[in-house]
Amino acid sequence: MKHLMKRSAVVLLTALSAFTLACGYSSKATTPATAGTLPTIATLAPASATHGDAAFVLTVTGTNFSTTAVINFGGVEQTTNQVSGTQLTATISAADIANAGTVAVTVTNPAITGTGAYGSGGTLAETSGPMNFTIN
């Protein structure tokens, strides 16, 4: 009788394990994020400044700017205002143009978090190609 109970317990545990694994209990299906919209820069206004000048407002014109797009000046995110889907502005500090040289300006459309199971889906952040800003 003891042998029969032991065998029954083994069979029961094996069946439960198989059922749990077959139902996918241990795996969580997720949908990967997809590519976001790639912004492009057409013009910068102004396109240059003189080192030592005061702070100024940089206007970036282009395409595919999301409502949360940000201007990056020299790789640093700037507080950005969206004028439209094709125009953004940011105030560039005097400290950012204190030295002569060239600074890369880009625009980033941030990632959008997915709303699917376990936060799946959404989009990836996309950053435009750089446009050079000259500091004379």
Pick the CATH number of 40-135 from 3.30.70, 1.20.120, 2.60.40, 2.60.200: 2.60.40
Report pLDDT for 38.
Answer: 95
The verdict on pTM exceeding 0.85 is no
What are the sequence ranges of the domains in the chain? 40-135
Mean pLDDT across the chain, nearest whole number?
A: 85
Q: Where are the beta strands (DSSP E) in the chain?
A: 40-45, 48-49, 56-63, 70-73, 76-77, 80-84, 87-92, 101-109, 112-113, 122-123, 126-127, 131-135
> Does residue 29 register a pLDDT over 80?
no
